[in-house]
Structure 1
Amino acid sequence: MIIYVMRKLLFLILFSGCIGQSFAQLSAPKKYYTDSICFDGAPKRLSNKYPLSDQKNMGKWKMNKKFSDEFKGNKLDPKKWQDYCRTWKGRQPTYFDGRNVTVDHGELTFKINQHEKDQLPEGYTHSSGYIRSHTQFKYGYFEAKIKAMDAPWVTCFWMTKGTATWGTEIDICENAPGVAGNEHDLNSNIHVFKSPEDQGNVKKHFYRSKKYYVPFDLKKDYHVWGCEWNQDVIRWYLDGVLFREAENTHWHQPLHIILNNESNKWFGCLPDDNRLNGQYKVEYVRVWQSKLVESDIIQ
């Protein structure tokens, strides 16, 4: 009898534990990762002349120093970058203000709320930073060494161009590890908003997004984001490790390079007045062209 009671109690304890675990799992929706990324074989930097992922230069890359930037001065190079956007004020409620962008100690830094006492436009409560290359690039290899923000704003390094008939985008880094639960999320996306007849005749926006799991907190250290883009394929790299490859079906438009920090409710990134000291830092932005790929540069 005693043994029976003990078994009964043990069953109830285990059963209630399983029920509790089940409800706990149901209460928090699972994230759908395409894959987890292993960095055991990550390459070591032997030379700054070549992309981190191709240190033997099998791709015949030549750095375009004119359009790369090591941020060695004490201000943003106006010949390479503009710190405003004529057509986009920023994703509400965060407004792009050039005063949030600084260059010092060999780094480009994006901050929050450096607009002093100036009143922001209607619909905006906070300000962040944005820079865009004057030059447009069609194909090449693009790399930046980045320390993501430890604050609820998205850290962005991407390429885009929009006209009346043609608009495409390649997101190289679009991550928000400063938001609890996103520390290990590596996001990747490409967009086509519209295109002319000879480029697919796209009338309705579509995108191809993927999410990957990385075994470390993305905001804890500097990481190298890279993108190889040619007429056939787009490849994404983190710290020299290939984590995604996509067929290039529509991305044949010359694009600007953009870096910014922004709000985005889809990433859980809405302003937090208790976390205004977070900074997004960039050691360099480098651009390569290859002898193996015909590319265009529009100044």
Structure 2
Amino acid sequence: MSFQSDESQAQTSRNNLPFTAQPTEKWKIRWDRSDDFNGDSVDWRKWNASPENFGAWVWDNQNNTSVADGTVRLTMRKLDEPVTVGRRAPTPYTSGMLKSHVKGTYGYYEARIKGAPLFPGVCPAFWLYSRIDDTILAEGETRYSEIDIVELTQRGDRLEGNEKVADFNLHAILSNGKPGIAGRSWQRPNDARFKADQANELKLPFDPRDDFHIYGCDVTPETITWFVDGQQVGQKPNRYWHREMNVAISLGLRPPYSIYTPKGFVPSDVDAADAFPTSMEVDYVRIWQRIP
């Protein structure tokens, strides 16, 4: 598999077409969900300043997002004292996440990303996700859609080569006919029943922490197709990913600094004194829609 040089990527980032666009294709860029980060601060008209919390850390965009030199930097920090937000368990970890105000479904999604230097321990991610609608009761109907355009460096050990493993996965919640949370039937890519249609794993031919690379995803009513530096790296049928979704870029916590419990991920007791802070960088996020 051949990947483009960073020089050609930089040139591509200045045009208004997807990196994979063909000469006969027509595209319209959606600036309400796209950002070149050319200012001196995050444009909160596009991005949610206080997204909901759901991990072993909390989002603190005021202290963990910054824009300079044409990129946005998202940082994970470990505080001296744990913080408590809402009903969530106390955690010493805070991070940054940009979640779009505007939602969409089909189109081409692209970002140019440089991973965080820490490995293992954090996961730079570019993804799409909907809200969970527990009012949907018809059995088999989709309550939640999530498309992971890319998740980087989330393997929790230092085995040689694991820093190059990237994931391009699909998650969904279907209704089992019951109301509320009891009616959620998760379709996860690590479940053997759904792996063939929802899991994509690739060992990249480069270390994503060393430089910027372009990660893209073409979402159509029929298929979901993933790209790295313009090269197709996966395709799955679009079975459940038709709900309106927010665009997100984020830096999440991973093992060994978090562990999974019956109540979800919580911070571990592993010493993290010298590991944090650590930051990912994003040159741009761009979303296009096809013009018939």
TM-score (norm 2): 0.76
The 1-side partners of 2:95 and 2:4 are apart by 36
Do 1:161 and 1:168's aligned partners in 2 also have CA atoms closer than 8 Å?
Answer: yes
Aligned with residue 213 of structure 2, among 206, 220, 223 = 223
| Per-residue CA distance 1:212-253 (angstroms, 9 max, x = gap) | 122221211111110100101100001111000111111111
CA distance 1:40–1:222, shift in 2 (3 Å):
closer
CA distance 1:195–1:61, shift in 2 (3 Å):
farther
Aligned with residue 148 of structure 2, among 171, 181, 188 = 171
- Per-residue deviation, 1:82: 0.9
Do 1:177 and 1:218's aligned partners in 2 also have CA atoms closer than 8 Å?
Answer: no
The 2-side partners of 1:67 and 1:85 are apart by 16
- Per-residue deviation, 1:266: 8.8
Structure 1 residue 282 and structure 2 residue 282: aligned? yes
- Per-residue deviation, 1:69: 0.4
Structure 1 residue 125 and structure 2 residue 92: aligned? yes
The 2-side partners of 1:77 and 1:169 are apart by 24
Do 1:149 and 1:219's aligned partners in 2 also have CA atoms closer than 8 Å?
Answer: yes
Mapping of 1:49-68 within 5 angstroms? 49-54=16-21, 56-68=22-34
CA distance 1:52–1:195, shift in 2 (3 Å):
farther
> Which AA in structure 1 matches 2:289?
Q
Secondary structure at the aligned position of 2:185 is classed as coil
Mapping of 1:52-201 within 5 angstroms? 52-54=19-21, 56-86=22-52, 89-92=53-56, 94-98=57-61, 99-113=63-77, 119-121=82-84, 122-151=89-118, 152-162=121-131, 163-164=133-134, 165=136, 166-176=143-153, 180-181=158-159, 182-194=162-174
| Per-residue CA distance 1:112-141 (angstroms, 9 max, x = gap) | 2287x7751133121111121000011000
| Per-residue CA distance 1:253-284 (angstroms, 9 max, x = gap) | 11000111111339989673212142100000
Moved over 4 A (4+): 40-47, 266-271
Q: What is the root-mean-square deviation in Å for CA atoms of aligned residues?
A: 2.8
Do 2:71 and 2:284's aligned partners in 1 also have CA atoms closer than 8 Å?
Answer: yes
Do 1:167 and 1:195's aligned partners in 2 also have CA atoms closer than 8 Å?
Answer: no
Give 5+ residue unaligned stretches, structure 1. Answer: 1-37, 293-299
Secondary structure at the aligned position of 1:228 is classed as strand
The 2-side partners of 1:71 and 1:237 are apart by 22
- Per-residue deviation, 1:83: 2.7
CA distance 1:244–1:113, shift in 2 (3 Å):
same
Give 5+ residue unaligned stretches, structure 2. Answer: 137-142, 178-182, 189-197, 260-267
TM-score (norm 1): 0.74
The 2-side partners of 1:133 and 1:213 are apart by 29
- 1:35 matched to which residue of 2? none
| Per-residue CA distance 1:12-63 (angstroms, 9 max, x = gap) | xxxxxxxxxxxxxxxxxxxxxxxxxx12578955652211122x34432222
Secondary structure at the aligned position of 2:169 is classed as strand
Q: Which has the larger radius of gyration?
A: 1
Instruction: State, as a whole percentage, how many aligned pairs show the same letter.
Output: 24
